[in-house]
Amino acid sequence: ETGVTQTPRHLVMGMTNKKSLKCEQHLGHNAMYWYKQSAKKPLELMFVYNFKEQTENNSVPSRFSPECPNSSHLFLHLHTLQPEDSALYLCASSQDPGQPYGYTFGSGTRLTVV
Partner 1 sequence: RKEVEQDPGPFNVPEGATVAFNCTYSNSASQSFFWYRQDCRKEPKLLMSVYSSGNEDGRFTAQLNRASQYISLLIRDSKLSDSATYLCVVNMGNYGGSQGNLIFGKGTKLSVKP
The residue count for the chain: 114
Q: Which of 16, 41, 59, 70 binds partner 1 (CB under 8 A)?
A: 41
> Closer CB to partner 1, residue 9 or residue 18?
9
DSSP of 21-65: EEEEE-S--SEEEEEEE-TTS--EEEEEEETTEEEEE-S--TTEE
- Which of these ranges, 11-19, 41-49, 60-68, 71-79, lies near partner 1 under the rule CB under 8 A? 41-49
Minimal distance, residue 32 CB to partner 1, in Å? 12
Cis (ω within 30 of 0) for the bond into 61?
no
Contact region for partner 1 (CB under 8 A) — 12-20, 22-30, 61-69, 106-114?
Answer: 106-114
Site for partner 1 in 46-105 (CB under 8 A): 48, 50, 55-56, 88, 90, 96-105
The only residue of 13, 43, 52, 72 in contact with partner 1, by rule CB under 8 A: 43
Q: What DSSP string runs through 65-76? A: EEEEEETTEEEE
Around Cβ 22, how many Cβ atoms within 10 Å? 16
Answer yes or no whether residue 106 interacts with partner 1 by CB under 8 A. Answer: yes
